[in-house]
Chain A
Amino acid sequence: MIAAILLFAAAAAGEADAPPPAAATRQLYDEALAAHGKGNPRKGAALFFQWLRGSPRTAEAYDSAQHLLAEELHSLGLLHAALVYETTVIRSRARPELLPAALDRLQAWAAEAPHDEDRFEAEALRGGDFGGVEGPVKAYVAFEQGAADLRAGQDRWSEARFAELPESSPFRFRARLLTAAVRLSRGGPAEEALHELHELATDKSSPREVRNEARISAARLRFEAGEFEQALQLYDAVDLPELDPGRGQIYLEEAWTHYRAGQGGKAMGLLAALEAPSFRNLFLPEKFLLRALIYKDACHWLTAKRTARGLLRRYAGSLQAIQDRLPLLDDAQLAEAALQKGAGRRAAQLVAQLAKERDKLDRLASAWKDSGLWDSLAELYAGAQAEAERKRQLELERGVIRAADELLRAAEQVSLVDYEVGLALYRRARQAPKSQLAFQTVDPERDEVAYGFDGEYWNDELPALRFGLKNRCAEGVAP
């Protein structure tokens, strides 16, 4: 109760301290425009805000001022605030001539950094009618609206939206990829999806990220169907920019595929890639399992046992917490794992992005305090940060359970490997096991070049790492 009274008093005091709005004169607007023209976004933003505060929403230049204020805020690195003002222009549509530019900015700025997608794309675009918009942004709007309809199960509407996309537009390829993925997730026929994914993967006019996603999705389907060689061809075709480390999860999937295809050396090479600094902290308990399986299959018994137990050592704290029924959120490894992929990762990135912008805003306090812009934006950011943190917490709660399940499954599997190693040792006394795995030599072919690993990970080499391991199954020596 006392806290509530104090809060109310503080709010009242804040209001009392707030400077009265300056008169929204023509001169003030001109000064703001002059500052904008001179490339002084700090001054320009403060003056545009002052003018907006003193003007009615029906003022002729209101939307133009918001549009310009958004530009100033964006140039100062305040992306969230910039998007708030720009989407207000899009929603109000009081100045239709500003709409294409505002949509263009929304598309470009939204691609720059993590942002609140539900608030900006969803609210500004998905419900609106943008029939009059022409030019490149038309495809962007049609894609966003169609994607929202598709995810909501409105297939007929989404088809109509996607039909508006020009044949050559990158959004058309994205729309096809999204449609295939959504239909597959609803239990649609895998063959149909696979056909569409293959077309996208091989179409040179589709954007690189679409081709890569299509290849990865098709590779997963091939793997599930037991077509390992085809899956590997698709993984190999993934085209990364030079020195891009790629994605750890994909390397692990590819390593499993190599293992299933009987290519132990390549599988082990990819597992070695997962020890690179880019991936070292990724939560991938299965990498221990796969490594132990490969050592077991090559009859490296002691190493197989030690690798299997490596998982139990690495995640000992988390496994103990699960066993003791402790709150999973308190476990640092599980919490980190929960925010490493999917929605959890996006939620964590948004929290970090808003915190970064908030720091930038704090550095502008002295410049903007008098105009009231700082107070207004501080309130805006406080609300956005609270909402982002709420979403992050929700994702964290879901994510730790997923991570705990994944860890338990892997721990169970490595225990099984440990047991199987013991069993194999016992059997070996009577009959030597035969390995299904091939560990090819690590000598380069005529058109290849070999870089021996010396502890330094080069991103371009990660997918090309090979591990030459001796198959000891036929040796018949003691472990």
Chain B
Amino acid sequence: MKLARLLCALLLACLAAPLAASAQESGKLVAIQQRKYRMGVELELGGMFEPIDAFSKGLAPEGSLTLHFDDDWGWEVLRGGYVARLNTSLRTQLERDFGVDPTAFDSLQYYASSNLIFSPLYGKFALRNSSLVHMQAFLSFGAAYSHFTSYYAAAPELGAGLRVFLNNTFSVRFDARDAYFFGLTTKKQQNILFLSLGLSINFGGNDG
């Protein structure tokens, strides 16, 4: 028994010596770089696709203005678009074969929203080991206001997005947002998914 204890003590001593040494050595190694891309005032121009309405799909020219307070937080002051509708075959069939009145389909016509933007993720990818692509992922939460065919509605809005930096001035931005609209003068409710893609122009930040 004593021999076993002695062996255990020896083993522990042997293990502890390198551990102590490595603990002393264990400094933290970090690469600290100047952030290559920083946003200031962002003007975005692009398009929106609204995919989940079964009777028609929406396509809209869209624009937005965002103020970035720092690298993490920003306020999308205004985003808005005017929607063109593309009827699905289901709607055509309902109208043609079953005589459904076109006014029965309430669809999004134009909209505006305002959101807080939180961008916790910023990073880079190596493109074929020859260049770097910098990206930023963000979350948005705020409120939206819109006009459907026969009523006005307001909604809380939640979303997520991804930005690919082209240079200090231009970036490509993709947004996916969901808004659940409540009619202001009716009890109608509607869930709308906005898929937006646009080119952002950055003023301020480190574009100079």
Residues of A at the B interface (CB closer than 8 Å) are 242-243, 268-269, 272, 295, 300, 302-303, 306, 439, 442, 444, 446-453, 458, 460-461, 464-470, 472
Say how far A198's CB is from chain B's closest CB, in angstroms. Answer: 24
Cβ-neighbour of A465 out of B29, B34, B71 (below 8 A): B29
Report the bound CA distance from A470 to B31 in whole Å: 18
Say how far A462's CB is from chain B's closest CB, in angstroms. Answer: 8
Q: In this complex, what residue of B is CB-closest to A478?
A: B20
Report the bound CA distance from A465 to B27 in whole Å: 12
Q: In this complex, what residue of A is CB-closest to B33?
A: A464
Report the bound CA distance from A447 to B206 in whole Å: 10
Residues of B at the A interface (CB closer than 8 Å) are 20-21, 24-25, 27-35, 38, 70-71, 122, 126, 129-132
How many residue pairs between the two chains, A and B, have CB atoms under 8 Å in the bound complex?
A: 79
- Tell whether, in the assembled complex, residue B24 and residue A461 are in contact, meaning their CB atoms are under 8 Å apart: no
- Tell whether, in the assembled complex, residue A449 and residue B30 are in contact, meaning their CB atoms are under 8 Å apart: no
- Tell whether, in the assembled complex, residue A467 and residue B25 are in contact, meaning their CB atoms are under 8 Å apart: no
- Tell whether, in the assembled complex, residue A466 and residue B31 are in contact, meaning their CB atoms are under 8 Å apart: yes
Could you show 12 A-B contacts with beta carbons less than 8 Å apart? A306-B21, A439-B27, A442-B32, A444-B32, A448-B33, A449-B32, A452-B28, A453-B31, A458-B126, A460-B132, A468-B27, A470-B27
- Tell whether, in the assembled complex, residue A450 and residue B34 are in contact, meaning their CB atoms are under 8 Å apart: no
Question: With A243-B129, A447-B38 as given contacts, are A303 and B33 in contact (CB-CB < 8 Å)?
Answer: no
Say how far A255's CB is from chain B's closest CB, in angstroms. Answer: 14
- Tell whether, in the assembled complex, residue B34 and residue A243 are in contact, meaning their CB atoms are under 8 Å apart: no
- Tell whether, in the assembled complex, residue A467 and residue B28 are in contact, meaning their CB atoms are under 8 Å apart: yes
**Please, which residues of chain A bring their CB within 8 A of the CB of B31?**
450-451, 453, 458, 461, 464-466
Question: With A242-B132, A303-B24 as given contacts, are A466 and B29 in contact (CB-CB < 8 Å)?
Answer: yes
**Please, which residues of chain B bring their CB within 8 A of the CB of A466?**
29-32
- Tell whether, in the assembled complex, residue A449 and residue B35 are in contact, meaning their CB atoms are under 8 Å apart: yes
Report the bound CA distance from A67 to B31 in whole Å: 52
Report the bound CA distance from A450 to B70 in whole Å: 16
Say how far A301's CB is from chain B's closest CB, in angstroms. Answer: 8
Report the bound CA distance from A453 to B30 in whole Å: 5
Cβ-neighbour of B28 out of A442, A444, A464 (below 8 A): A442
**Please, which residues of chain A bring their CB within 8 A of the CB of B131?**
242-243
Say how far A117's CB is from chain B's closest CB, in angstroms. Answer: 29
Q: In this complex, what residue of B is CB-closest to A455?
A: B29
- Tell whether, in the assembled complex, residue A303 and residue B35 are in contact, meaning their CB atoms are under 8 Å apart: no
**Please, which residues of chain A bring their CB within 8 A of the CB of B25?**
295, 300, 303
Cβ-neighbour of A448 out of B27, B35, B130, B132 (below 8 A): B35
Report the bound CA distance from A444 to B30 in whole Å: 9
Report the bound CA distance from A472 to B70 in whole Å: 36
Report the bound CA distance from A464 to B32 in whole Å: 5
Report the bound CA distance from A472 to B131 in whole Å: 41
Say how far A263's CB is from chain B's closest CB, in angstroms. Answer: 13
Question: With A242-B131, A243-B126, A243-B131 as given contacts, are A448 and B32 in contact (CB-CB < 8 Å)?
Answer: yes
**Please, which residues of chain B bring their CB within 8 A of the CB of A442?**
28-30, 32
Q: In this complex, what residue of A is CB-closest to B127?
A: A243
Residue of B32, B33, B34 with most chain A CB atoms under a 10 A cut-off: B32
- Tell whether, in the assembled complex, residue B29 and residue A269 are in contact, meaning their CB atoms are under 8 Å apart: yes
Known A467-B28, A468-B29; further 19 A-B contacts with Cβ < 8 A: A243-B129, A243-B130, A306-B21, A442-B29, A442-B30, A442-B32, A446-B71, A448-B34, A448-B35, A450-B30, A451-B33, A452-B28, A453-B31, A458-B31, A460-B132, A461-B31, A466-B30, A466-B32, A472-B24
Report the bound CA distance from A194 to B53 in whole Å: 71
